[in-house]
Every structure is written in structure tokens, then in C-alpha cells.
Amino acid sequence: MRCIGVLVLCAAAACAQDSFEIHVYEYDPMPLGSLSYETHLNYTLEGTRSYDGTVAPTQNQFHYTTEFTAGLTDSFALGTMVLTAARPGHSLEYAGWRIIPHAFAPKSWGLPFNLGVLAEFSFMRPAYEEDARHLELRLVIEKHIGRLQLDGNPVFARALTGPLTKQGWAFEPSGRIGWQLSRKFTPSVEYYSSWGPLRNLPPFHEQVHQFVPGGDWRINDRLLVNFGAGFGITGAANAVFVKSRFEWSLGKAP
């Protein structure tokens, strides 16, 4: 029975979801000398209500993430995040940090779609992530068809420390469908998931699958606001949450 309990906990941990950065990455190369600042504000209205190992319940958690990204060449950028959170009974506290190299294929390559790749090295407090150090490799695949914009982020993630390293790579795809109504507003539907370890995928109801209707509002050439309300369709996912992202372009004009 003890072994069964451990396996169940490991399966749940493998299908963890990221509530700090609810973001489908788009093809967005930054020229040399450019700088962007992003703020992610997310709140879980209906989530988990008990501890999962060291991980605190997600119900009524508020997450505030700050992110700076600098263009180092016309096709390579480097980003860093500081994660903070407020949970019931606690004031706003440090939750972890991340470093994110971005690389994008130049359009001069003539590919049939826009292509990029990101690596995300994450260092988390145990209250917010059981595997304190983990790595994500994220592809960015984007296609425009008239006003229709399609973005896909196949993500492969694995723990770098702790018992979860034995599970190997997990598959966590996300995607976005947007329709540009005008230069300033693009409504969209986003999808986020965590399917679990590739070597032993858990059943569908133990995976994370979430849909987020929302949109992008471009206030001016330097400020973009993304917002949405998310709904989980499996028991492993946070059931209801809201998310937003404010992105300012700094330094060299976009």
C-alpha cells in the first residue's frame, strides 16, 4: 500500500501545472539592444485544498512574477524571472527564480512557419514546486493565415534534483488560437496541459488540461496587455483561475 501511495503522489507531481507564468510564447525576436519588462498577475479561485507533499494548496493563491528580457543579438535573447506568491495565512513571499535563453530562426531562412526555441532553468521553493530545480525545453511554432494566428508550444520538462528525476522527460504542450479584430485587439483561446512522463503517461483524468478564453489588447507601440479566465477540465487541474500579463518594450524602439 505504501508503494501504491508513492506512485500516486509521483503521478500527481508529474502533472503539476505552472501558475506563475501562464503564457503561450509567440515568435517574438528582440533586436540587439532591446529590453522588455513583463508582469504576470495570476489568481486561483478554485484549486487544490490540501498539501501535496511539500507543495502548498493552490486554492486562493495569488502569484506576482516579474520578468526582464534583453536582446543580445537579432536572433538571441536572455530573460530572467523573479517569482513571488501570497497564499492564505501568508503575506507576499519569495517563491523562486528562473533564467530563460530565447533563440529564434531568422525569417530569411524561408521556413513555412515562424520557429523558435527556449530553455527555462527553474529554481523553486519546496512550497511551490516539489522538484526545486527543473528544466524545460520549449519550441515556438507560429503560423499566420490572414487575421488568424496559430501558436504552438510543445514543451518537454524534467526534474534536475530529487526523486522525480527518475521519471525522465514529461510532455507539457500549450497552444493559442487568435483572431486579429483590429490592430489593437486580438481575442484568443489558449490551451495549457501537462500530460505526464513520456515513459509512462498517466490516464487522461490524472493529467492537466486547461482552456483560457481571453485576448491581447495593444494599448500603444510599447505596452501590451494579455488577460484571460481559465478552466480546468480534469481533476488534476486548477478548476478556475484568472491571469494577466503586462508587457512593456523598453530601450530600443520595437
pTM of the complete model: 0.90
Average pLDDT over residues 43-66: 94
Q: Does domain 2-249 have CATH number 2.60.40.1080?
A: no
Please report which confidence band the pLDDT of residue 252 belongs to, taking 50, 70 and 90 as the band edges: low
Compute the radius of gyration of the chain from its Cα atoms. 18
Whether the predicted pLDDT of 57 surpasses 70 = yes
Under DSSP, is residue 166 helix (H, G, I), strand (E, B) or coil? helix
Provide the mean pLDDT of the chain.
Answer: 91
At residue 125, the pLDDT reads 95
- The Cα-based distances of 199 to 110, 168, 195 in angstroms read 35, 8, 11
At residue 12, the pLDDT reads 42
CB atoms within 10 A of CB 188: 19
The proportion of the chain whose per-residue pLDDT surpasses 70, expressed as a percent, equals: 92
At residue 3, the pLDDT reads 38
> Cell numbers of 160, please?
534536475
- The Cα-based distances of 38 to 16, 84, 144, 158, 225 in angstroms read 23, 14, 24, 25, 10
